[in-house]
Chains A and B, each alone.
Chain A
């Protein structure tokens, strides 16, 4: 079956630090990969996505590259801000046309201190 593994949180960083949140996956076929973000008191929002190997998704200074050889989709940002504090979810869709929806990881809570 499909699964997504994320690094455990919380991850605490100082403002302007470099961020990496690791994500690896197990899936059949060729899944699409996503990062969603959940700000306090809100639902999840799509942050970025990649639909095939070596694609790089980017948004709001965040980037993630689809690495098929290592089955990874690590999230990175060069300089984080306090406003980036949120829970980040890695997810996949194996696009088999079924009704599986997205498979999510457990989420990584990111705390950015001034």
Chain B
């Protein structure tokens, strides 16, 4: 148990659906991240929040919309996704701000998303 909880664990959605992924951490961390994990590709950093402010958006399509209402919760809102968006979406948190030399990330178990 890493202290980072993601729900749901699995999600199947059609291309016209709207759904949200949820991430929660009770570690007292100040930064939260969304990563996309696809088979045979490096983990892709999607969004970074530090103290509830978005500090990074790595050219992610607008059909992915993050929300960080407080330092413990992070959402990823999904709408009109494409089949190539099927992947494991991982949430992570860190105590300090992003970019620190000793930055250690704590990951959730991920949401396995399938887009039909």
A-side interface residues toward B, CB under 8 Å? 4, 32, 36, 41-46, 49, 51, 89, 93, 95-107
Contact = CB atoms under 8 A, between A and B. Distances in A.
Give the size category of B's interface with A.
20 to 34
Given A45-B2, A95-B100, A101 B107 contact: no
Contact of A100 (B42, B45, B107, B109): B45
B60 to A, nearest CB: 13
Given A42-B109, A45-B107, 19 more contacts: A32-B103, A43-B107, A43-B108, A44-B92, A51-B102, A97-B99, A97-B100, A98-B98, A99-B50, A99-B56, A99-B99, A100-B56, A101-B45, A101-B48, A101-B56, A102-B43, A103-B42, A104-B42, A106-B40
Given A4-B42, A43-B4, A99 B55 contact: yes
- Where chain A touches its partner, the secondary structure class is loop
A86 to B, nearest CB: 13
Contacts of A102: 43, 45, 103, 105
Contacts of A100: 45, 56, 98-99
A51 B45 contact: no
List the 8 shortest-distance A-B pairs measured between CB atoms, nearest first: A43-B107, A95-B101, A99-B56, A99-B55, A104-B43, A44-B107, A99-B98, A101-B45
A4 B102 CA distance: 18
Contact of A32 (B33, B48, B102): B102
Contact of A93 (B43, B103, B110): B103
